[in-house]
Amino acid sequence: MPRAALLVTTALLTALLSPSVSQAAGDPAPVAVDRFEGEVPFAAQPADGIFTWGGDNDDPPQLRFADRADAPEGAKVLSGTYDISGYGGFTHDFAATEPAHDWSAHKGIRFWWDGRNNAKKITFELKDGGVHGEASELWTTSFTDDFSGWRQIEIPFTDFVYRTDYQPVGGIDHVLGLTGMWGYAVTLPVGAPGQFAMDDVELYGKADQSLRANVTTDAAVYPVEEGGTADVRLTVATTGSAPIDEPVTVGYETTGGTASGSDYTPLRGEVTFPAGTASGTSRTVRVRTLKDRSAESAETIPLKLTVTGAKPPAETPKVVVDAHGLPYLNSGLPVKKRVADLLSRMSLAEKAGQMTQAERGAITSPGDVAAYDLGSLLSGGGSTPTPNTAEAWAKMIDAFQLRAQATRFQIPLIYGVDAVHGHNNLVGATIMPHNIGIGASRNPQLARRTGSVTAAEVRATGIPWDFAPCLCVTRDERWGRTYESFGEDPALVQAMETVIQGLQGDRDGKDMKDDDKVLATAKHFVGDGGTEYGSSTTGTYTIDQGVTKVTRQQLEAVHLAPYQTAVDRGVGTVMPSFSSLDIAGDGQGPVKMHARADMINGVLKGRMGFDGFVISDWAAIDQIPGDRASDVRTSVNAGLDMIMVPYAYQDFHSTLVDEVEAGRVSERRIDDAVSRILTQKFRLGLFEKPYADTDGAAAIGSAGHRAVARQAAAESQVLLKNSAGLLPLRKSQKVYVAGSNADDIGNQTGGWTVTWQGSSGDIIPGTTILEGMREAGGDVTYSKDASASTDGYDVGVVVVGETPYAEGVGDVGNGHDLELSAADRAAVDKVCAAMRCAVLIVSGRPQLIGDRLGDIDALVASWLPGTEGDGVADVLYGKRAFAGQLPLTWPKSESQLPINVGDPVYDPQYPYGWGLTTLTKVPEGGLETLRALGVKARAAERAGDGETGRGLVTQARLIVQRTVGRHITAAVAKPFADADHLLLTGRNAEAVERLTAAYRAA
């Protein structure tokens, strides 16, 4: 990173000269950005203002406008103190409601800094382009505080580089345009307490044309069929779009590359853009290729450009003569033969590239896609293009795919995202309930339909690979990923794996090339849902990424079972877990799953017969004990085929090559990994159609797709209590609605929505629960905190619960618990004291409600229903019946955790499988009716009539629930929960027997 230029000003010169340093002849007058005299407030967006930030509560600095007699400008300076352990600093964002600023007439930015001579580095960043200061590109440089007293720091704009380790949004254009500036940010030193002072931020100097004018090409890569012509368009452009002041010449020459003189017609010449040429003017250079009769890999023809009077393109454009005539390109051949042919031609470096996956924001140079023969890119949570539209996603991914065409064999990238409840990174997508709600629906056909909608919306943006579904069996509600699971019972998880067919289509993979299907990922292999509380060693996490301690029998029955189902369903990829596995008696102790060859090679690929490829989790090999080389060889030898190394792709690539050449990773293991990866790329049809097929983009967020999400939201609602038939509501009733989650689409959709952690507020289009109730025709009044008068209402509906989180950030004990917030408790208490009330809990896991249960007339587990709050309103107002069942046990207290179906001691608030219904007549009768249902269930089982048997179990369950009411004892809960597990495993007669036992206990 270039160090900023420093204009050293001694104390003597400071006294003699005006603080606004004299300017060169012809330079424009300096333009003040910040004088720190109080003209800019301490405020955050959308207002114009200065605000602080940091990695945790202690990291943001303390700022003030301080009077200083030695202030370089005016009377005040910006002064601050800090003590930063993670990261911290401050930002000045210009008002988002006003136009961005144009800095393009100036050479750079400068400010006065009160040096402490501590040798610490201070990072200074600019915010360029985008829609506002928090959705712009970051351009960064730094200076070192190795001086004492005031010094003016001058930083030419040419010193700033695009920040590659973090961007708040996806790349806008990777050009420091200077015409749409949104402010600046300062990152302060870490590790020791400190203080600083700063004054007079201003723009200085004049930008000469060579800095203001650019010559660009319309692409960096121009693939053409052999014998075709590539048209390279040269464009002159200026910041501010003014005409050029002086002529710009572009000399061009075809030289170098892998193509020979017989492959193209050599070309050399010059293009001139005269003074006065309008910004945006283009000229075209045509490169003609020649045709012969031989089969060949792709060949490159660089077009060297020499620019005078403007900045040249960042890269030399390359014309690429497409690979042709080789067997792997023949779509009529079996995939196995195509893979074998291509693999036989590849070098070790090319194979290592196929095994490498990088985060899109980490690509420091777009040419690295070809330079490292990268096999895959991904978008982590919140890693999106700007604007975050379907069109921008497709354009971004197509640009990366174009880069892959410059490789020898033009192997397309496979781009992946975490679309875990719809295409959740995309604003405007259809957001489904999280998996915990889908598990509550007990509807495998619906699960498949949600997968189909997700696949169609993901593929329409150019993405062929989804890191879903999570087949975790959640065994402790304190886990921050609980909502990513379908439930605590492996049988329930297995039943919902129809979602794999929704994503991929037929289990033989023949549908994956279709424009509405994607490659699915079963994750996280294996045991991620069984980690022991307090076992995590990741930061402040308490349970996520911890240790799963099990017997071999428990491992097989609980955690491995869903993966055999996934393999049988043809899932294309599997992702190991961050967590460690500790199998009793195997003598290994806890071992990170990414290092467990016995489980990946032995069980998954060997015994289960998995023929797809294994992709690591985010930088997960870094958690394997040892150095980088050890991490690489251990994980690859354990059976990982592609490694997600978001920001370390260059290092991983070179290390893997070194390990193979040293004999520590066998070429046979590499060939197996690459064969598996190429197989899925061929199945996806990427060699024939690498670019986005956007024909389906019009259906993203469509009424048809939202109808599926609405049904899923409705069927996910679990009615836990319904005294005197309070629900469904009647439209004639006057309803008082309160609570933090009644009208908050961000809380309603939860984590993994637009960003990794999600956020509260109006973050995505959709219908809140309150809006759904109004659209249903209800007579509704809303008071979030229940501060409005409660007089004159027939019924209250209080919608409470959690705010968004993801992964270990949401672990209980890591700033989270299972209690309602104080505001939510107050709203419940006030409304339920004033009128009959229903409480809806919008959350990713059960919330402890027992101390208020007696005052609540109706209780609903709403989970995280997604964007379609009208689905919740459908069951509240009786358009659909409540039919959901608990996918996990609802505890009475945190001290009971973990608590799961099948436990020898089992005394929950509500048992697994509990769920009342409305608009459905509960069968009359008692013990005799249950006995009769048992006889019929056994007969149906003998006849192989599972559908009839399931219906009989449902009738028995409804009879028991009506009899039990609110008096759920341990003697009732255990057989009741057992019955639901038996139902899911097809043992319907036994299920009725257990329900009969629960009835007797009641």
Residue positions counted in the chain: 1002
Map 740-797 to HEC letters. Answer: CCCCCHHHHHCCCECECCCCCCCCCCCECHHHHHHHCCCEEEECCCCCCCCCCCCEEE
Question: Which phi and psi angles does 23 have, rounded to 5°?
Answer: -105, 155
User: Edge-to-edge, what's the strand order for the sheet holding 858-861?
Assistant: 718-722, 858-861, 837-842, 795-801, 734-738, 779-782
924 a catalytic residue? no
Pairing of strands 734-738, 6-7: unpaired
Residue 113, token pair as written in the block = 């800094």
Nearest-angstrom CA–CA distance, 335 and 688: 13
Cβ proximity of 709 and 674 under 8 Å:
no
Angle CA(17)–CA(19)–CA(21) in degrees, nearest 5?
75
Nearest-angstrom CA–CA distance, 687 and 690: 6
**C-alpha closest to that of 888 among 432, 474, 433:** 474
Give the residues across from 197 on adjacent strands: 79
Nearest-angstrom CA–CA distance, 411 and 343: 11
**C-alpha closest to that of 840 among 873, 815, 811:** 873
- The residue behind tokens 């587990």 is 861
Dihedral sign, Cα of residue 520, residue 370, residue 388, residue 687: negative
Cβ proximity of 529 and 475 under 8 Å:
yes
Angle CA(277)–CA(283)–CA(287) in degrees, nearest 5?
160
Q: Which of 125, 263, 516, 617 is catalytic?
A: 617
Residue 570, token pair as written in the block = 């043809």
Nearest-angstrom CA–CA distance, 185 and 193: 20
Other Cβ atoms closer than 10 A to 331: 12
Residue 12 CB contacts under 8 Å (≥ 6 apart), including other chains: none
Type and span of the H or E element at 515: none
Q: Which of 73, 159, 807, 874 is catalytic?
A: 807
Please measure the distance between the N-terminal and C-terminal CA atoms of the chain and give it in whole angstroms: 72
Nearest-angstrom CA–CA distance, 507 and 567: 9
Pairing of strands 613-614, 414-417: unpaired
Nearest-angstrom CA–CA distance, 71 and 198: 9
Pairing of strands 795-801, 837-842: parallel
Nearest-angstrom CA–CA distance, 473 and 547: 14
The beta-carbon contacts of 592-597 under 8 Å, at least 24 apart in sequence, are 592/620, 592/623, 592/624, 592/625, 593/524, 593/525, 593/526, 593/527, 594/620, 594/621, 594/623, 594/624, 594/634, 594/635, 594/638, 594/640, 595/624, 595/634, 595/635, 595/638, 596/638, 597/637, 597/638, 597/639
807 a catalytic residue? yes
Nearest-angstrom CA–CA distance, 432 and 203: 48
Cis preceding-peptide flag for 189 (omega within 30 of 0): no
Other Cβ atoms closer than 10 A to 671: 15
Type and span of the H or E element at 267: none
Please state, in angstroms and as integers, the Cα–Cα distance from residue 990 to each residue in 196, 662, 893, following that order: 73, 59, 30
Give the residues across from 890 on adjacent strands: 910
Q: Would you please indicate which residues are annotated as catalytic (active-site) residues?
A: 617, 807
